[in-house]
Structure formats: structure tokens, C-alpha cells
Amino acid sequence: MRRFARFFLWLMGVAVPVFLAACYGMPYRFSKIGKVIDSESKTGINGIEVSCLNNEQVLDVSHSYEDGKFEIWYDQPCDVLVFEDVDGEENGGLYSQKQIVFDEDTDNIIVEMDQEI
């Protein structure tokens, strides 16, 4: 009886995840990395909000780090990436919003932002 119970527990441990994956599919997410820089000084900009939009619907939002690097996660490809300075003058000045067309084949995205006058 003890062997049967161990076998049954092992079988459930293997069969249940396989069954769930077969029914619902495996969850997955893709990511893109990049850097937001000042167009004049070429230094990284901290605190820039990066949004992944598809049909004007926000799929994911991220923020750039101190060195300007960011990572955005998505389940389906974005139409555009929107870069917006949400902290105002706090991190080196106020920058104009920028949109770029999303390209899944691009490995590393570099975005140059202009300061507002």
C-alpha cells in the first residue's frame, strides 16, 4: 500500500503540471532592453517612464534606472514605445515625450531625448 501511495503522489506531481500546460499553454513573456540618453550630453537619464502600447492600450510600463537603462516586458509585440519624463526637472531637466515604432528584431534600443526649453 505504501508503494502505491508513493507512486500515486509521484504520478500526480508529474501529470498535473503536464495536463495544465497542455490545456492552457505555457506562460511566456519577452523583454527588450535599452537606454535613454540626453541628446546633447549623451548621458543616461533616470526616471523616464517607458510604456509599451498596442492599439493605444498600455501593455506594460517600466522606468529607466540611474544610468538610463531600462527593460520592458511584453506578451505580444507593441506598436510603439512611449518615453515620457514623469518626474519633471528632478533628474537633470524636463524632457519632451518621444515615441518610437517597436521593432522586435532590434536587440538594444537607444533613445535620445531632447530637453524642453
Residue-wise over 43-60: b if at least 16 C-beta within 10 A, else e? ebbbbbbbbbbbeeeebb
Is 82's pLDDT higher than 90?
A: yes
For the segment 83-90, the average pLDDT, to the nearest whole number, is: 82
Average of per-residue pLDDT values in the chain: 83
Q: pTM for the whole thing? A: 0.71
Residue 45 lies in a domain: yes
| Between 115 and 20, residue with greater pLDDT | 115
- C-alpha neighbours within 13 Å on the C-beta side of residue 9: 6
Q: Which helix (H) or strand (E) holds 9?
A: helix 2-24
Q: Which helix (H) or strand (E) holds 4?
A: helix 2-24
Other CB atoms within 10 Å distance of the CB of residue 16: 10
Kindly list the strands in the beta sheet with 48-54, ordered across the sheet, starting from the edge strand earlier in the chain. Answer: 57-63, 48-54, 80-85, 98-101
> What cell does 80 get?
510603439
Residue 12 lies in a domain: no
What is the residue range of 92's domain?
A: 30-113
Domain count, the chain: 1
pLDDT score, position 59: 86
Residues in the chain: 117
Is 26's pLDDT higher than 60?
A: no
Residue 16 lies in a domain: no
Residue 56 lies in a domain: yes
Residue 40 lies in a domain: yes
Which positions ≥6 away from 33 have C-beta within 8 Å? 69, 70, 71, 108, 109
Is 90's pLDDT higher than 80?
A: no
Residue 35 lies in a domain: yes
pLDDT band at 73 (very low <50, low <70, confident <90, very high): confident
Q: Which helix (H) or strand (E) holds 69?
A: strand 69-74
Residue 9 lies in a domain: no
What's 86's domain CATH number?
2.60.40.10
Residue 86 lies in a domain: yes
